[in-house]
Every structure is written in structure tokens, then in C-alpha cells.
Amino acid sequence: MLPVERDTNINLKDLATTGLSKKIIRYEELIEEQLKPRLQEVINNRDNCFNEITEGEKLRAFIDKEMSRTGPMEVQVDLGHHFYAKATVEDTNSILICVGMGLYVRYTLAEAKDFLDSRQALIEERIKALTSDASRIKVEMKIVLEAINEVATKERIAAGG
């Protein structure tokens, strides 16, 4: 994430005490109350997409390992609050995958790999869109900061200093 630089000559407290334009304060509020929260939301959503890709890669690696394996598998199942129980999986030819909204679908291991590939492609497209959104918001912030600087400069000149 590229930082958005601010003109260090502009200080909201100074603006309020010197009676400079309320327009500058509104621009600052636009940045603080709308643009920054939107940018943070977009970045959080993008980070979640990266986490989904990581989880998909882990699952794909597990499937690759299990495709070469035969017979039952011993596992530990998280029952909640990091409390685990041992379990034996007799049929290792299929896997349940969460497809969203708490819904699970049973796939063969080959079908699961295909599903994960298509899901990853969709997530990568979402990441591109979110990255584009973040860049656009940063540009908007830069434009607003330039507007603040321009208004402040004009008012300093008008005030004779």
C-alpha cells in the first residue's frame, strides 16, 4: 500500500483557530470519514481473498498427498475451542468442501482439485478488482489533499501571507 502524503503546512487546529475556509474542514472530513474507511474495507476484503487462496493451496496439497494414499486415515478433529478427538476416515476417495454460507459439497479428490482451481481463478479476479478499487480510492484521496492544499494556498495569499 502506497502512503498518501499530506502537506505538513496544513493543520486542522490551525485552520479552525484562524478562521480559514470551512471547505478545507469538509475535505478533511471526506478523507477521514469516507475515503479512509472505504480504503480499509477494500484492503481487508483483499486480505481475506489472499487468505482464501492460501487455504485453497493447503487443501490442494493435502488432496495431492491423499490421492497417492490407500486405506483408512487417522486424523484429529477439532471439536471446538482447540479440543481434539482422534478419528478414522475409512473412505478417503472423497472430501467435503465448504462452498460458502455453511454449505458443504462432497467431491471426489479429482473433482475437488478442479473445484479449487476454478475457485482460485475467481478469487484472483476479485483480488484484481479490489486492488483496482484501492488504487482508485488512493487517487481520490490524493486529489482531495491537493484541493485542500490549493484552497489553503489561495486563502493564505488572500490573507496577505
pLDDT value, residue 20: 56
Residue appearing with cell numbers 473433482: 111
Contact 144, 59 (CB under 8 A): no
**Alpha-carbon distance values, 71 to 49, 53, 64, 74, 93 (Å):** 34, 29, 15, 10, 10
* Nearby residues of 151 by Cβ (< 8 Å), 6 or more positions away: 21, 23, 24, 27
pLDDT value, residue 3: 43
Its pTM stands at 0.74
Dig out the grid coordinates for 110 from the structure.
Answer: 479429482
Q: Percent of the chain beyond pLDDT 70?
A: 87
